[in-house]
Amino acid sequence: MTRLSDKFADLPISSALPDMRSALAGETAAVLAAPPGAGKTTLVPLDLLEESWCTGRILLIEPRRLAARAAARRMAAMRGEEVGATVGYRMRLDTRTSDATRIEVVTEGVFTRMALDDPELAGYSCVLFDEFHERALEADFGLALALDIQSGLRADLRILVMSATLDVERIAGLVGTAQIIESQGRAFDVEIRYQDRPTGRRIEDVMAEAIRQMHRQEHGSMLAFLPGQSEILATAERLGDTLGSTTQIMPLYGGLSGADQDRAIRPASSGHRKVVLATPVAESSITIDGVRVVIDSGLVRQPALDPETGITRLVTRRASQASVAQRAGRAGRTEPGIALRLWHPGQTMALPRFNEPQIKSADLSGLVLDCAAWGVLDPRELRFLDPPPAAALAEARNLLHALGAIDTNGLITSQGRAMRALPLPPRLASMVVAADMHGDRFGAAMLAVLLTEQGLGGRMIDLDARMAQLKQERSPRAKAALSLARRIAGRNVRLPEEAVPAASHLAIAFPDRVARQRGGRGRFLMANGRGCEVAAEDRLAGSTYLVVADVTGRAARSRVLAAAELSGAALEAVIANAGVESEEYRFDAESGRVLGRRVHRLGAIVVSETPLAKPDPVRAQQALVDGLRREGLALLNFSRQAQHLRERVAFLHRNSGAGAEAEFDWPDLGDAALLETLEEWLVPFLANSTSLGEIEPQTLLAALQSILGAERVAALDRLAPTHYTAPTGSRIAIRYDGEVPRIAIRVQELFGESRHPCLAAGRVPLLLELLSPAQRPIQTTRDLPGFWDGSWSDVRAEMRGRYPKHPWPEDPRNAEATRRAKPRTR
């Protein structure tokens, strides 16, 4: 029997089809690895359609809409039909199927919704996951659902995982099969060249130069990979019309309309060349005919969740080795090609081998809600290639609980079911469900579609302005968006007499991103405690309050991409619902006082504050203690006596526990220990003090002595005296501010001393700094008898000539100590 695939035997994938058919005839799961351009996306579904076990429909799951449309059109053309007959597609804003459709091409998000709504996937014989190597969250979850359906409800359901670059052994182990089919493919040679990007130069500047250079030197169309839409538009602006009238510059990114995307992937007309500026959307799944030169920035932009704020940001990273290999392969589809990489050749091996799974860095609130609807409280019970991180799951559960979607046990609520029924992320779904209170469910639905479809209503930050612009647009994409908003809102929804401001809706979905201006025009603080900025020239930069729907950039100074002004009744409603009023006490280090305020807060935002007429003394004292802990003990006015006390006790603390007379365990009076125990030693002496100026030095001394207790205070002068009494009767202050206690004393005052003075009941020798009559150091010693017997003779010989008026006896042990010079002779 002749098969349709026989007509396309020139496609490289053809040689692998018999093994694939055999694998799926005997088992219900298989893995197919084939390089870009092998034909797997289109020929595999068409071939499986003719298998005897395939009595129902085939689902082909693509990572993005552009790929889904292109695959469906190509398969329909291969059968000589229009899209919507045997082959159709289904996606968020565009569906073309009929009763005759046997192959449905759907996006990953559509498939997960289909599986959750119909856990048996009734009427479907096979599910094909294409380009699984991209490791999107929806693809991982979709495969986990398909495996769960297969093991529990549909043992006959076939699952085929396909990819151009894939860790096939791991994925085969996940789906439980030994059936791994590999197609080598056939591609022309691609010459890899490198051009290092200088540090500090913008990628769009380097890319534009590289395109102009390769355009001059080579023939054929070109495909340039950039991380995102902004870099694509900037590169197109820099190129302008410098490539001539016979070369078209075509952007290709997700925010374009379907028609514009289709124009970008069509081959150039005769006698013309094309330069396609693309995001990784062109990396796989689609073919752009006529491309001979690929220029790769080596960058990719991916969503990543900041666990501290719950905000998902787009982060620009280095692409993986698998990705740059796929990009290069696009240059060798129809003839030998060139791939120019804009980095140093040594950096290639430092790139990660594969794309990081999105499940490791994405917002998992949608996943957790879907799992709760599926009856799985812990998503890790499902079969994931990489299990979802515990921290991200906890963050997702907290958000869903705050939105009322799950209860404290993680079970889905009626609110959660209403949210999950909408094809929206949880935050936006909660906004639409709650919009019934405003009587503007359609407005909320329209805003939700605007936020999930890039480019709708323009690229202004102001969402009210973008909503107004969208209502005026007449493009097919705008009409499809409005139609989707009506379906989300419900067909019988009534329009309000007056449009509800976007901020009223957004505050339901993003209460943690209500922001107040601080520090000047365009600078805001969000309720979650993070700063964000609006360009100073933008109208919203002068707003007092905003609700921020989308941000990008560093956490400390995020750039606002979409927001709406919050004012009037909407602001009052947010403050009434989410605001918290409390008494707050703050220690002001500059004045040394505790300030008591009645504060109305919205998260980290202070809405209003007024001084307290009668502060609570207990809370005020605690604020004083907290302030000291934060600022340090240097703020306290310790007297010299108190500081000396701390130094003496520190000496005994270092030397406690040794010797027969170590009768006390001396406490630690260092800064760290005192700060840790402020409530125990300081607070009882504060009375009603709420400022540092009210704490007298004598109070601090008494507080320190209270730590020691009466017995230790009595023993302190004996074990660590303040002074040493010399043989002359002089009282010399002992310094304890170093590691070893010490005194500085003129050597003549020690004559007659035959024992070395010691502290701590004779256990620690006092360090003696011996001075000349002019108070200059002669020598230091901790062994005075040894000094008399040893180096004294040398010191005496040197000093007696320098200070002849002072005594320098040969035997200082038996000489009389003196503070004076020799008496004058007549």
Judged against a pLDDT cut of 90, whether residue 129 lies above it is answered with yes
Buried-state track 758-779, b at ≥16 Cβ within 10 A, e below 16:
ebbeeebbbbbebbbbeeeebe
Q: How far apart are CA 566 and CA 560, in angstroms?
A: 15
Say what the pLDDT of residue 176 is.
Answer: 92
pLDDT of residue 661: 47
The residue-averaged pLDDT of 558-587 equals: 87
pLDDT at 246 over 80: yes
Note the helical H segments in 406-560. Answer: 414-420, 426-434, 441-452, 463-472, 476-489, 502-509
pLDDT of residue 311: 62
Whole-number Å distance between alpha carbons of 49 and 338 = 37
- 436 or 234, higher pLDDT: 234
pLDDT on residue 660: 41
* CA distance readout (Å), 267 to 213, 244, 247, 262, 263: 22, 18, 12, 10, 9
CA angle 337, 130, 177 (to 5 degrees): 120
What pLDDT does residue 243 have?
92
**Phi (first) and psi of residue 737, to 5 degrees:** -85, 0
pLDDT tens figures, 10-58: 888 999 999 999 999 999 999 999 887 788 999 999 999 999 999 999 9
Question: Which residues are paired to 103 by β-bridges?
Answer: 58, 87
At 37 the pLDDT is: 74
> Does residue 579 contact residue 567 with C-beta atoms inside 8 Å?
no
Could you list the beta-strand ranges (E) of 12-155: 29-33, 57-62, 87-90, 95-96, 103-107, 124-129
- % residues pLDDT > 70 (the chain): 95
pLDDT band at 473 (very low <50, low <70, confident <90, very high): confident
Cα of 412 vs its chain's centroid, Å: 28
Question: What is the structure's pLDDT at 64?
Answer: 86
User: How remote is the C-alpha of 723 from its chain's centroid?
Assistant: 60
List of residues 6+ apart from 677 with CB closer than 8 A: none
Asked which of 358-362, 588-592, 662-666 is least confident by mean pLDDT, the reply is 662-666
Choice between 442 and 569, residue whose per-residue pLDDT is larger = 442
Measured distance CA(501)–CA(463) in Å, rounded: 9
Statement: residue 658 has pLDDT above 70: no
Per-residue tokens: 345: 């050749």
pTM for this predicted structure: 0.72
pLDDT interval class at 455 (50, 70, 90): confident
495, pLDDT greater than 90: no
- Name the token pair of 291: 């491309």
Number of residues that make up the chain: 826
Burial of 316 (0-12, 13-18, 19+ CB in 10 A): middle
CB atoms near residue 234 (< 10 Å):
18
| CA gap 257, 274 in Å, rounded | 19
Q: pLDDT (tens digit, 9 = 90+) per residue, 315-335?
A: 788 999 988 988 888 888 778
Q: What integer pLDDT is reported at residue 625 of this predicted model?
A: 92
Closest CA to 108 of 132, 76, 126: 132
Q: Is the pLDDT of residue 439 over 80?
A: no
pLDDT tens digit sequence for 250-263: 999 877 777 788 78
pLDDT digits (tens, 9 = 90+) for 301-312: 877 766 655 566
Average pLDDT estimate for 280-296: 81
User: Does 288 score more than 60 pLDDT?
Assistant: yes
Does residue 214 have a pLDDT over 80? yes
- In the chain the domains, ranked by start, together with CATH numbers, are 4-182 (3.40.50.300), 190-357 (3.40.50.300), 422-573 (no CATH), 634-720 (no CATH), 724-814 (no CATH)
Residue 494 has pLDDT above 70, yes or no: no
pLDDT at 826: 47
d(CA 717, CA 49) in angstroms, rounded, equals: 99
Distance CA 395, CA 523 (A): 27
Largest CA distance in the chain: 144
What is the distance between the terminal CA atoms of the chain, rounded to a whole angstrom? 144
* pLDDT of the residue at 420: 92
Segment 93-108, tens digit of pLDDT: 789 999 999 999 999 9
pLDDT exceeding 90 applies to what percent of the chain? 63
Q: What is the DSSP string of 626-647?
A: HHHHHH-GGGS---HHHHHHHH
The token pair at 263 is: 């124009």
The predicted structure's pLDDT at residue 769: 96
**pLDDT(122) > 90:** yes
The CA distances from residue 590 to 120, 258, 594, 633, 683, in Å, are 69, 62, 11, 14, 21
Q: Choose between 231 and 554: higher pLDDT.
A: 231
Q: CA distances (Å), 308 to each of 31, 518, 579, in order?
A: 38, 21, 21
Cα separation, 372 vs 23, whole angstroms: 34
Query: Could you write out the DSSP letters of every residue in 797-819?
Result: HHHHHH-TTS---S-GGGSPP-S
> Residues 508-522: what's their mean pLDDT?
90
Q: What is the pLDDT of residues 721-778, one digit of tens each?
A: 999 999 999 999 999 998 899 999 999 999 999 999 999 988 899 999 999 999 999 9
Confidence label for 88 from pLDDT (cuts 50, 70 and 90)? very high
Residue 220 near residue 273, CB atoms below 8 Å: yes
Residue 186 has pLDDT above 70, yes or no: no
Q: Are 134 and 166 in contact (CB under 8 A)?
A: no
| Distance of alpha carbon 58 from alpha carbon 404, whole angstroms | 37
Q: What is the pLDDT of residues 768-822, one digit of tens each?
A: 999 999 999 999 999 999 999 999 999 999 999 899 999 999 999 999 999 888 7
Minimum mean pLDDT range among 142-151, 178-187, 446-455, 517-526 = 178-187
pLDDT of residue 493: 63
276 closest CA partner among 531, 66, 75: 66
Indicate the SS3 state at residue 303.
strand
- Give start and end residues of each alpha helix (H) in 490-549: 502-509
What is the DSSP code (8-state) at residue 513?
G
What band does 659 get if pLDDT is binned at 50, 70 and 90? very low
